[in-house]
Structure 1
Amino acid sequence: MLRNYQPADAEAIVRVAQAAFAEFEQDYSDWPLFTANVAKMPGLAETGELIVAEDEGEIVGAVAYVGPQAPKPAFFDPAWPIIRMLVVDPAARGKGVGRQLTEECLRRAERDRSPVIALHTAPIMTVALPMYLRMGFVRVQDAPDILGVPYAVYVKSLG
């Protein structure tokens, strides 16, 4: 079940986000800094719409949808809505949670009448990146590395 974030969800979202990224500990040059930034995920609700995935009352995933014109990193076109911080609890992987969360972001971009939606990800994201490519996202440019990990911007045309 997908629903909008509530402030009471913050602790569970941080737990899921940190569990989701734990497999990449060896990839980032400053893991404590990276996990501190991951722990700020609930703050994305201030500039975007945080969407939570629940399974039997437990939060198993989350994503932020940041709409057109909302503040976002400078390497994105300011007019583009973006998907930020898609996270799925490792114990809930393989159930389509990430796809459902991504599809909800696509619905919100269509609601906002946006012709495209964007995200940034890294080649080390060996589950997320292939899913995005299957869903029609196309690599358009490099994004700044994050603590030694290369990232790129991907865009999907809507409609």
Structure 2
Amino acid sequence: MDFAIRRANPDEYDLLGEITAQAYLRDGLLDFGESDEYLGELRDVAKRAAAAEVLVAVENGRLLGGVTFVPGGGPMADIAGAGEAEIRMLAVDRAARGRGAGEALVRACVDRARATEACVRIVLSTQRTMRSAHRIYERLDFVRTPERDWNPLPHLDDITLLTYQLTL
């Protein structure tokens, strides 16, 4: 592991937004492809960074991927409640996958959650097809919480997001 995990710099926002968008598009995770309105959210790193902490994995000056850490509540939280932090929008550039950057980003979020006062767990949502991410979460002792699974687009029945949590 020859990369560093740190906060994203504003001059990296556009590139990270594109890495994130392309990861979701190329992995077939957006229902409507380029017209999916969530794609704009994935690309808008500045908006995320204003409301949460955006972390990146960097190797020799090259951005490998990133994640959004939501320390609790606020506009970036999807499912986090009181005493919970949330992980959102984990993505690693396709060319950099399989080298531990995704796991290192998740570990950094766990470390931040442990350092957050009154935080007792970290939660996240994921799609059924994100199996590589599921393996990372399970390796780090996250457990499935099917009672929290939810649908961000209620008018589409087949978009249920799976949830995981790690009690700190």
Moved more, 95-104 or 14-23: 14-23
Q: Which of 10, 13, 17 matches 1:14?
A: 17
1:111 equivalent to 2:111? Answer: no
User: Which of 97, 109, 121 is the aligned partner of 1:93?
Assistant: 97
Structure 1 residue runs of 4 or more that deviate by more than 6 Å after TM superposition: none
CA distance in 1, matches of 2:77, 2:71: 13
Query: Measured at CA, do residues 36 and 8 of structure 1 come closer, stay the same or move farther in structure 2, by a change above 3 Å?
Result: same
- 2:149 is equivalent to residue 142 of structure 1: yes
Distance 1:85 1:15 in 2: 12
Alpha-carbon distance change, 128 to 10 in structure 1, aligned in 2, over 3 angstroms: same
Equivalent positions of 1:69-88 (< 5 A) are 69-73=73-77, 75-88=79-92
Between the aligned partners of 2:138 and 2:79, the Cα distance in structure 1 is: 20
Comparing both structures, which one devotes a greater share of its residues to strand? 1
Preserved contact between residue 18 and residue 38 of structure 1 (Cα < 8 Å):
yes
Contact 1:143 1:151 (C-alpha < 8 Å) held by counterparts: yes
Instruction: Say how many residue pairs are matched.
Output: 157
CA contact (8 A) 1:54 1:61 kept: yes
State whether residues 68 and 79 of structure 1, in contact with CA within 8 Å, keep that contact through their aligned partners in structure 2: yes
> Does 2:128 align with 1:126?
no
TM-aligned CA deviation for residue 54 of structure 1: 0.6
- Structure 1 CA distance for aligned equivalents of residues 93 and 69 of structure 2: 19
Is contact 1:71–1:78 with CA below 8 Å preserved after alignment? Answer: no
TM-fit CA distance, 1:74: 5.2
- Structure 1 equivalent of residue 32 of structure 2: 30
Secondary structure at 1:28's aligned position in 2?
coil
Which range is displaced more, 133-142 or 114-123? 133-142
Q: 1:45 aligns with which of 40, 45, 49?
A: 49
Q: RMSD across aligned C-alpha pairs, in angstroms?
A: 1.9
Q: TM-score, normalised by structure 1?
A: 0.88
- 1:10 deviates by 1.0
Counterpart residue type for residue 92 of structure 1? A
Which runs of no fewer than 5 residues in structure 2 stay unpaired?
none
TM-score (norm 2): 0.84
Percentage of matched positions with identical amino acids: 27
